[in-house]
Structure 1
Amino acid sequence: MSVLSSNSVFTSLLQNGPFTVTKEIKHNGHFSAQTRQWVKCLQQDPNNRTKYRALRGQLFEFLAVNNIEEIDELMVNSALRQQRSERAFHLLGNMFGLEGNLNEIKDRVDEYARTADEVIHSIKGKILAPFASYIESTNEIEVINNPVELLIIMFNGKYHQKARFEARRKIILMTLAGSIDQRERETEIKNKFSEFLSFLNGYVWSPNLTIGEYAPVFLHSKHNLDDYYCNEVNVVPPHKIKSIEPAPGEKLTLIKRRSFTVGKKKIPIYVSIRKKPQAAKVLKLLRKNEKNPGIAVDDELGLMGVLDSFSDIKTFQQHLTHSASKANSLMVLEDISDTLIDDSQYGGTATGSSDKTSMMKFFARLGGMRVEFIIHTNKTWLNYMFQHDVAHNEYEVKRMFDSGVIELLFPNDIFHLEHDKARDEMIKFFRKQV
């Protein structure tokens, strides 16, 4: 189900739906032509009627008002606004299971607001970097973290349409950030990430290595000039790099590799270990059209490994299983997909993914954790970095646009961003960087 569909769980943010942020606010005219037309539109979809009643009830309860007109008093009465804000923080604290006094709850809600801002900053800094001036946030909204203040702005005609939309958007993103934080506290993800790193350092990597030790090497690769598909790759030690002058279609890529030991053989591996940041989790909820992080975010812990050959990959899998046993845990591999051997089609179902992508992907359940592993050879990793239609930067652009998230967060009538044109230009932009 598309995030832009009439059944989207983010209906309240859709600019082409019943909750459109209009240029002017006219909530006082109960029987105006505009109000009658809006009611007529709302009545056409029973689902939207139900959503409207639910949202209105939540809004009134949160602000402790009985109707929209009472919000006008909150706009001008700062003492009353302060009182309602303190009440609202306690309500949020109970909803998200936050412990502590009022100031501690405020601090946590401030974190949710910073995550909401970071969602927009992350898009502006990468996916839409050349269009940053189009999507820059309104200063007045960015500095406000109080959800009551943001809700009141949504009904304040003194604020521009863009500012009112951004206030609504920030509230929704803050709510998603709160749900993610609650989920992380319930699953103790921070502790599990620390335990995962301890498992790798204690049982997986070569015992003679110090923690964080790596050996730098260069990948000397040759690519097709039309799509930058990697045809050949060789590992070059740093002391030999001066003798290589890359020709057109050739690249030198630095990687820093750890190693693991099987018997007397030491096998090098480039590793990227990550705990998915809060802003990335919020974006994943949006892409999946889902508000429950327990359903949508299944890859909180992840490891990407790059090895020299497929035989090394098989050895690494066996080594992981044996290492888990030494750590007194069975390791079970789940949801395995493998397109490394014969370049068979990936068959990924994620929006924006390419069937040209070659990788091994699986989840490993061990030690009370479920960790996503993505494994590459040197060749498939270089394709993952540089090949047209496969490169991760392109994939990020496609999944953000094709899922409807960019249009949801930056509707054209407010931000004047032509989405199809921007999508194509960003793909060209990342290809030029290669």
Structure 2
Amino acid sequence: MSVLSPSSIFTSMQQEGPFAVQKTALNPHPFSQEARNWVKNLHKDSNHISKYRALRSQIFEFLGIETFAEIDQLLHDPALRQMRSERALHLLGNMFGISGTRKEIENRVHEYARTADTVIHSLKGKILAPYGSFIETTNEIEMANNPIELILIMFDDRYHKKARFEARRKLTLMTLAGSIDQRERETEIADKFSNFLGFLNSYVWSPDLKIGELNPVYLHSIHDPENFHCTDVQVLSPQQADAIQLPPGEKLTLLKRRRFTLGHRNIPIYVSIRKKPPEAKVLKLLRKNEKNPAVAVDDELGLMAVLDNISDIKSFQQHLTRSAANANSLMVLEDISDTLTENTIYKGHAVGSSSQTPMLKFFARLGGMRVELIIHTNQTFLNYMYQQDVAHNEYEVKRIFDSGVIELLFPRDIFHLDHQKTRSEMIRFFRKQIES
């Protein structure tokens, strides 16, 4: 379900829906013409009425008021706002299970605000980099970390329509950040990530290596001019790579590889280990049209590995299983998807994913953790990086646009972006970076 559909759980942010931010702040008088027109539109969908009532109750309870007319007093009484802000921190602390002093709760809520800002900065820095001036957040909203202040901005006609929308957007993103933080504390994800790294260093990588020791090599690849898929790849030392003069259609890709030992063989492996940052998890919740991290974010711990060939991949799977047993844990592989073998088609379920993306993907359950593993050969990794309609940068553009997230966060009537045109231009932008 798209985040832009009428039944989306993010209806309150939709500029095409009944909760759209208007040119002027909502007139609280119940018999005004604006209020009458709004109520008429709201009654077109009973689901919207239920959502409105729930949202109104939450706002009233959070602000400590009983009618919209009382908002004006809060807007003009700093002392009263301060009292309500302290009460709000207590309510938020209990809702998100934050223990500690009022200051500690305030610091945690401010972290949620910073995560909300980082979501926008991450898009501005990559997916929408050429459009930074279009989507830049209003200074006053970026500086606001107090949820009470942000709610009041939504009803304050001194603020421009864009600023009032950004206040609402920031509150929504802060709520998602709070849910993610609560989930991470409940699942002890930071400790599990540390334990996973410890498992790899103690049981998986070669004991001849120091922790963090890496061997740099280059993949010298030749690419088809039609779709830039890899037709041949050779592993070169840095000295050999220095002597290469690259013609069009060829690339050098640096990999810093570890080793694992199986029998008498030392097998090289490139590994990228990730723990999704909060802003990436917020974007994933939006793409999945979910507010519950336990449902939408199932890949908090992840490892991507690249090996020379399929035989080495099978050896790595065998080595992982033995390493888990040596660490006194059974390792079970779940949700296995193997499309590395010839004539097997990958059937991606994510919006924007390509059916041309071969990989071995599974979840490994061991030591109280569930880790997502994505494994490539050198050739499929280069396709994942560079091939048309497959390259990860293209995939990121497609999924963030096609899921409706860009339009939800940066609606056309406020940010003046032509989303389809921007999508096409960003794909061309990344293709040019890849092929040049």
Partner of 2:97, secondary structure, is: coil
- TM-score (normalised: structure 1): 0.99
Q: For the residues of structure 1 that align with 2:57 and 2:292, how far apart are their CA atoms?
A: 21
Partner of 2:363, secondary structure, is: strand
1:238 Cα deviation after fit: 1.4
Match of 1:358 in 2: 358
Q: For the residues of structure 2 that align with 1:243 and 1:58, how far apart are their CA atoms?
A: 66
Match of 1:263 in 2: 263
Any conservation in 2 of the 1:219–1:233 contact (CA below 8 Å)?
yes
Structure 1 runs (4+) greater than 3 angstroms displaced: none
Match of 2:419 in 1: 419
Question: Is 2:101 the counterpart of 1:107?
Answer: no
Question: Is 2:386 the counterpart of 1:372?
Answer: no
Q: Which amino acid aligns with 1:4?
A: L
Question: Is 2:393 the counterpart of 1:393?
Answer: yes
Q: Which amino acid aligns with 1:194?
A: S
Match of 1:335 in 2: 335
Partner of 1:127, secondary structure, is: coil
Q: For the residues of structure 2 that align with 1:343 and 1:260, how far apart are their CA atoms?
A: 30
Q: For the residues of structure 2 that align with 1:420 and 1:32, how far apart are their CA atoms?
A: 38
Partner of 2:30, secondary structure, is: coil
Q: For the residues of structure 2 that align with 1:31 and 1:146, how far apart are their CA atoms?
A: 31
Equivalent residues in 2 for 1:5-84 (5 A)?
A: 5-84=5-84
Partner of 2:302, secondary structure, is: strand
Equivalent residues in 2 for 1:8-407 (5 A)?
A: 8-342=8-342, 344-407=344-407
Partner of 1:383, secondary structure, is: helix
- TM-score (normalised: structure 2): 0.99
Any conservation in 2 of the 1:27–1:68 contact (CA below 8 Å)?
no
* 1:403-427: CA deviation from partner (whole Å, max 9, x where unpaired): 0000000000000000000000000
1:343 Cα deviation after fit: 5.0
1:35 Cα deviation after fit: 1.7
Partner of 1:18, secondary structure, is: coil
1:382 Cα deviation after fit: 0.5
Q: For the residues of structure 2 that align with 1:264 and 1:341, how far apart are their CA atoms?
A: 26
1:360 Cα deviation after fit: 0.7
1:243 Cα deviation after fit: 2.7
Query: Percent of counterpart pairs with the same letter?
Result: 68
Any conservation in 1 of the 2:27–2:34 contact (CA below 8 Å)?
no
Any conservation in 1 of the 2:11–2:17 contact (CA below 8 Å)?
yes
* 1:337-364: CA deviation from partner (whole Å, max 9, x where unpaired): 0111115221010000000111110000
Q: For the residues of structure 1 that align with 2:365 and 2:134, how far apart are their CA atoms?
A: 43
Partner of 1:305, secondary structure, is: strand
* 1:308-361: CA deviation from partner (whole Å, max 9, x where unpaired): 000000000010000000000000000010111115221010000000111110
Any conservation in 2 of the 1:343–1:358 contact (CA below 8 Å)?
no
Q: For the residues of structure 2 that align with 1:214 and 1:105, how far apart are their CA atoms?
A: 41
Any conservation in 1 of the 2:29–2:69 contact (CA below 8 Å)?
no
1:26 Cα deviation after fit: 3.9
Q: For the residues of structure 1 that align with 2:123 and 2:408, how far apart are their CA atoms?
A: 13
Q: For the residues of structure 2 that align with 1:304 and 1:31, how far apart are their CA atoms?
A: 60
Partner of 2:298, secondary structure, is: coil
Any conservation in 2 of the 1:394–1:430 contact (CA below 8 Å)?
yes
* 1:180-217: CA deviation from partner (whole Å, max 9, x where unpaired): 00000000000000000000000000011000001000
* 1:59-103: CA deviation from partner (whole Å, max 9, x where unpaired): 000000011110111111000000000000000000000000100
Q: Which amino acid aligns with 2:247?
A: A
Q: For the residues of structure 2 that align with 1:295 and 1:347, how far apart are their CA atoms?
A: 21
Q: For the residues of structure 2 that align with 1:48 and 1:400, how far apart are their CA atoms?
A: 26
* 1:220-249: CA deviation from partner (whole Å, max 9, x where unpaired): 000011211000000011122233222221
Structure 1 residue runs without a partner (length 5+): none
Any conservation in 1 of the 2:28–2:35 contact (CA below 8 Å)?
no
* 1:272-308: CA deviation from partner (whole Å, max 9, x where unpaired): 0010000000000000000000000000000000000
Any conservation in 2 of the 1:98–1:105 contact (CA below 8 Å)?
yes
Q: For the residues of structure 2 that align with 1:252 and 1:413, how far apart are their CA atoms?
A: 44
